Structure 1
Amino acid sequence: MSDPTGAGHLDDVLLWAGALVTLSAALGLLWRATRGTRRLAAKVEDFVDDWTGTDDRPGVPGRPGVMTRLDKIEHKLAAVEHELHPNSGSSLRDAVDRVDQRTAHLDPP
């Protein structure tokens, strides 16, 4: 093999430096090319954590998942709806109707 620079060790150093630069550039391009995929994966991970909930960690309280929170909302809504319709006399609607009847006797039309 001929020595282009005339110094064998210098040629070896230049060859390895060129290989290192080429490898670094390829890794940099690969890193940039996969950046969108990594961002999407992080967003999907956040979505899954929100959907399934998270457990308690030191210093961070856990959060219930979407289905647990929807179940709580449905129970609260059922309790409010129970108060809006007449039933056995214990609902808010029954109380409003009783007050309306009493005031109708006080001030006849």
Structure 2
Amino acid sequence: MAHDMTPQWITDIIAVAPWLGAFCFAGFIIWKVGPVLRKWGRFLDRINGVPEDKKSGQKEIPGLFERMDRQDELLETIRHELFPNSGKSLRDAVDKQHKQLEDHLAQCPPPTTTINVNPPGGTP
């Protein structure tokens, strides 16, 4: 008898309530988890790289290992210039100039005049 007294719209809501609850729960999960998944997606794009897309104007983003390879090449170039090698590095050129200066100074006679920073009679 109690079933006959329940309005039809309440019975309809009771039948739809689990689906409505599941839909709301799924929306909540997407709302909360969506930004985290987008951040992870951007992170993975930075790790793996993104190819150039001319249609959308997206420039190529090199992956982590490509960027590290470029840095290794740059470091190798810097090392080549900093340490003596076959005469082509900056260090070799500086050493050559230093040796030429030392040889030139060794051939020059010592200076005949001296510079006295303290004037006679003391400072006024």
Normalising TM by the smaller chain, what interval?
0.7 to 0.9
For structure 2, the residue ranges without an aligned partner over 5 or more in a row are 111-124
CA positional deviation for 1:20? 3.9
- Are residue 3 (structure 1) and residue 8 (structure 2) matched? no
1:47 aligned partner: 43
**TM-score (structure 1 length as normaliser):** 0.73
Structure number with greater Rg is: 2
Deviations 1:11-35 (A, max 9, x none): 2223223444553334323443565
1:8 aligned partner: none
Deviations 1:38-62 (A, max 9, x none): 4443333222211110011221101
Of residues 80-89 and 11-20 in structure 1, the stretch that sits farther from structure 2 once superposed is 11-20
Cα distance in 2 for residues equivalent to 1:54 and 1:99 = 48
For structure 1, the residue ranges without an aligned partner over 5 or more in a row are 6-10
Cα distance in 1 for residues equivalent to 2:4 and 2:90 = 98
Number of residues of Structure 1 aligned to a counterpart in Structure 2? 104
Q: Which has the higher helix share?
A: 1
1:95 aligned partner: 93
Residue identity (%): 29
Of residues 30-39 and 56-65 in structure 1, the stretch that sits farther from structure 2 once superposed is 30-39
- Are residue 13 (structure 1) and residue 14 (structure 2) matched? no
